[in-house]
C-alpha cells in the first residue's frame, strides 16, 4: 500500500443515515434549538435503522450551542467516546466536521458518530443580523470600522472585484438562484417550495449590498440536520445502501485567512489548496463529479468555487452556468446543448431549501447516492460537497456509491 493510499479515508467510512427537523423562517419555530437538534438526530437514526443509544461520537462546527454531553444524556447514550468541534464561525466546517467524525471512526475512537447543526433564531439572535459591541478582534477590527457589519456587505467586495476582472454579469449570478429555486419546487421540505423565480424576478429584486440582490442571498431559517457515520462492516447491517466517503480536505492555503480582505487570491473562493488535496485524497478529478452541492451564502461565491474545484476554467463560470448546465434535466431547457450536465444544489440549497448553516447540503449529497433524493440525478455515482466559499478554514468532501 502506497503512502497516499494509507493516509486516505477512501472507502473506510460510510454515511448510513440522514435526518432533519422541520424548516421554518427565522424565529418561526417555537421549539428550543436543542429540541430541533435531537429531532434531527433521531430522524437520522430512524433513517439508518440504528438505536440512538448506540451513538458514541458527536461532531459539529461553527460553535454549535448544543453540546455533545447534553445530547448524549437526552438520548440515553451509555458512553460518549468522542466529541469534536470544527473551528471557525462560518459554513466552512460542514465537510470538515464530517471528516473529523470519519477520522475518529478510522482511529477507533468511536463506532457510530453523528454530525449535526441546529439553529433557532427566535430563541437566540437572527443569524445574519449585525452584532456590534464595544470591542472587536481579528478581521472585525478593520471591517466594522469601515461599516462592513453584515455578511452581504463583506462578501459584496470580492464578488464585485471578481465580476470586474472576468466580465461576469448580475444575470449570470442570477442563474445560480434560478436553478436552486427550480430544484426546490420538487422538494416538499424546502422553504421556497411553491415559490419559483425567473431571471426577471432576480433582476428586479431589491439591492442588498451592491452587486448582491435579494435573491443572491441565502435564506435565514430555523431547523436542524444530522448525518450518521460508521465503518462499512457495521453499515452492512443497517437499512440504507452504502454511501462511502471517497475523500475529504479542510483548512486553507497561503494567506487565505489574511485580515482586512488582503489575501492574494482575492477573486477566488479560497479553495485552491483544499480542492487540490481533496482530489488527491479521493483519487479522482473534477471530470468524475456527477452532482455537486456548493454552499451558497451568496451566488457569486458559487461561481468562484466552481473554478477553484476545476469544474470550469478560471474566469469562465459566468458563461459556464448558462444554458441550464447546473439545472437538473427535469427542470432544464433540454434544447440547450449542455442542459443538466452538472446539477448543483438539487434540493434547493441555502438559497431555496433552508439555511441550516449549510448542513442540509450534506444531507442532500448523501441522498443523491442512496436513492432517497426528491430530485435524483440519474446514474449519479459521485457527489461533491463544497463548504463555506470565501471563508477560512473551509472544507470539502466527495461521496461515492
How confident is the model over 64-82, as pLDDT tens digits?
999 999 999 999 999 999 9
pLDDT of residue 333: 80
Rg of the chain over Cα atoms, rounded to whole angstroms, equals: 20
Give the pLDDT band of residue 133 (cuts 50, 70, 90): low
The alpha helices in 20-150, defined as continuous H runs, are 33-48, 68-75, 94-107, 140-143
Q: Scanning the structure block, which residue is given the C-alpha cell 447514550?
A: 77
For residue 23, the SS3 value is coil
Structure-block grid coordinates of residue 246: 471517497
Give the C-alpha separation, 359 to 365, whole Å: 10
pLDDT tens digits along 141-191: 666 667 776 788 889 999 999 999 999 999 999 999 999 999 999 999 999
CB of 29 closer than 8 Å to CB of 122: yes
Give the Cα separation of 187 and 196 in Å (integer).
12
pLDDT score recorded for residue 1: 41
- Rounded Cα distance between 386 and 91, Å, is 10
Please give the average per-residue pLDDT across 355-378, as a whole number: 97
301-314 pLDDT tens trace:
999 999 999 999 99
Nearest Cα to Cα of residue 291 among 320, 311, 276, 318: 311
Q: Which residues are identified as catalytic?
A: 295, 355
How far apart, in whole angstroms, are the C-alpha atoms of residue 20 and residue 39?
A: 7
- Residue 97 predicted with pLDDT over 60: yes
- State in Å, rounded, how far the first CA of the chain is from the last one: 22
Closest among 284, 278, 313, 226 to 39, alpha carbons compared? 226
pLDDT in tens, 188-217: 999 999 999 999 999 999 999 999 999 999
Mean pLDDT, the chain, rounded, equals 92
| Residues ≥6 apart with Cβ < 8 Å to 286 | 279, 309, 310, 311
d(CA 26, CA 32): 13
Q: Cα separation of 178 and 198, whole Å? A: 6
pLDDT at position 253 is 86
Q: For residue 157, give the 3-state DSSP assignment.
A: helix
What does the pLDDT read at residue 126?
66
**What's this model's pTM, rounded to 2 decimal places?**
0.94
Has residue 6 got a pLDDT over 70? no
Spatial separation of the C-alpha atoms in residues 205 and 388, rounded to whole Å: 25
Beta strand pairing call for 382-387 and 394-400: antiparallel
Share of the chain above pLDDT 90, in %: 81
Amino acid at each position: 500500500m502506497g503512502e497516499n493510499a494509507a493516509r486516505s479515508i477512501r472507502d473506510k467510512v460510510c454515511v448510513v443515515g440522514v435526518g432533519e427537523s422541520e424548516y421554518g423562517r427565522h424565529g418561526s419555530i417555537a421549539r428550543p434549538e436543542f429540541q430541533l437538534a435531537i429531532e434531527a438526530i433521531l430522524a437520522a437514526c430512524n433513517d439508518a435503522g440504528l438505536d440512538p443509544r448506540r451513538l458514541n461520537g458527536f461532531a459539529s462546527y461553527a460553535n454549535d450551542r448544543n453540546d455533545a454531553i447534553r445530547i448524549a444524556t437526552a438520548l440515553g447514550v451509555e458512553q460518549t467516546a468522542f466529541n469534536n468541534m470544527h473551528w471557525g464561525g462560518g459554513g466552512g466546517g460542514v465537510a470538515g466536521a464530517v471528516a473529523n467524525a470519519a477520522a475518529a471512526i478510522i482511529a477507533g475512537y468511536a463506532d457510530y458518530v453523528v454530525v449535526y447543526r441546529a439553529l433557532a433564531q427566535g430563541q437566540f439572535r437572527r443569524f445574519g443580523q449585525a452584532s456590534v459591541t464595544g470591542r472587536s478582534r481579528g478581521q472585525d477590527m478593520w471591517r466594522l470600522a469601515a461599516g462592513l457589519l453584515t455578511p452581504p456587505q463583506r462578501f459584496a467586495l470580492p464578488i464585485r472585484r471578481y465580476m470586474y476582472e472576468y466580465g461576469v454579469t448580475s444575470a449570470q449570478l442570477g442563474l445560480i438562484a434560478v436553478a436552486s429555486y427550480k430544484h426546490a419546487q420538487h422538494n416538499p421540505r424546502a422553504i421556497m417550495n411553491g415559490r419559483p423565480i425567473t431571471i426577471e424576478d432576480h433582476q428586479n429584486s431589491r439591492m442588498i449590498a451592491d452587486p448582491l440582490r435579494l435573491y443572491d442571498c441565502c435564506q435565514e431559517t430555523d431547523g436542524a440536520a444530522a448525518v450518521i457515520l460508521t465503518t462499512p462492516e457495521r453499515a452492512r447491517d443497517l437499512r440504507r445502501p452504502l454511501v462511502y466517503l471517497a475523500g475529504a480536505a479542510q483548512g486553507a492555503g497561503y494567506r487565505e485567512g489574511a485580515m482586512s480582505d488582503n489575501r492574494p487570491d482575492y477573486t477566488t473562493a479560497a479553495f485552491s489548496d483544499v480542492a487540490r488535496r481533496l482530489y488527491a485524497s479521493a483519487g479522482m478529478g473534477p471530470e468524475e463529479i456527477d452532482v455537486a452541492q456548493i454552499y451558497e451564502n451568496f451566488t457569486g461565491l458559487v461561481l468562484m468555487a466552481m473554478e477553484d474545484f476545476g469544474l470550469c476554467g478560471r474566469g469562465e463560470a459566468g458563461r459556464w452556468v448558462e444554458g441550464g448546465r447546473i439545472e437538473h434535466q427535469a427542470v432544464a431547457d433540454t434544447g440547450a446543448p449542455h442542459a443538466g450536465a452538472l446539477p448543483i444544489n438539487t434540493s434547493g440549497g441555502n438559497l431555496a431549501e433552508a439555511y441550516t448553516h449549510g448542513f442540509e447540503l450534506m444531507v442532500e449529497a448523501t441522498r443523491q447516492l442512496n436513492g432517497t433524493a426528491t430530485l435524483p440525478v440519474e446514474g449519479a455515482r459521485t457527489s461533491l460537497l463544497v463548504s463555506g466559499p470565501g471563508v477560512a478554514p473551509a472544507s470539502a468532501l466527495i461521496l461515492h456509491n
